[in-house]
Homo-oligomer: A and B are copies of this chain.
Amino acid sequence: MVERISDAEHEIMEVLWKQSPLTATEVADQVVTEKDWSLQTVKTLLSRLATKAVVGTERDGRRFLYSPLVERDIYLAGVSRKFVDRLFGGKVTPLVAHLAEADELSVDDIREIEELLRELKG
């Protein structure tokens, strides 16, 4: 069971999933292009993630190098599951239906998903 990751923490994880290991400063540099957090904030988030054992630390002289300990896929799977369970009674179909009705699905999306499903069956 992966520990819960908050929204802000998730931003940090995305950076590390894209590239790692990174120092706190490097993470901050990446993240700052999106959000406007101070270096301190990024450090706090990294500590919290380290405490949760979601990122690992490796000493490099006087500083740390941070890397994810949880794979993005594993994490996403868990989160998706919880999401679908909570809002759609565990069924994916209503979710897709919903996104479709809300015009969130383009024709291309539909084609893509159909293709995907075909592969799944094959």
Residues from chain B with Cβ under 8 Å of A84 in the complex: 99, 104
| Residue among A10, A95, A114 with max Cβ neighbours from chain B (10 Å) | A95
- Whether A1 is near chain B, meaning CB under 8 Å from some CB there, is no
Chain A, 6-62, CB within 8 A of any chain B CB: 7, 10
Shortest CB distance A119–B (Å): 9
How many positions in chain A have a CB within 8 Å of any CB in the partner chain?
36
List, sorted by A's number, 17 A–B pairs whose CB atoms are closer than 8 Å: A7-B86, A73-B98, A73-B101, A76-B87, A76-B98, A77-B98, A79-B87, A81-B102, A81-B104, A92-B109, A93-B113, A93-B116, A96-B96, A100-B120, A105-B120, A110-B117, A110-B120
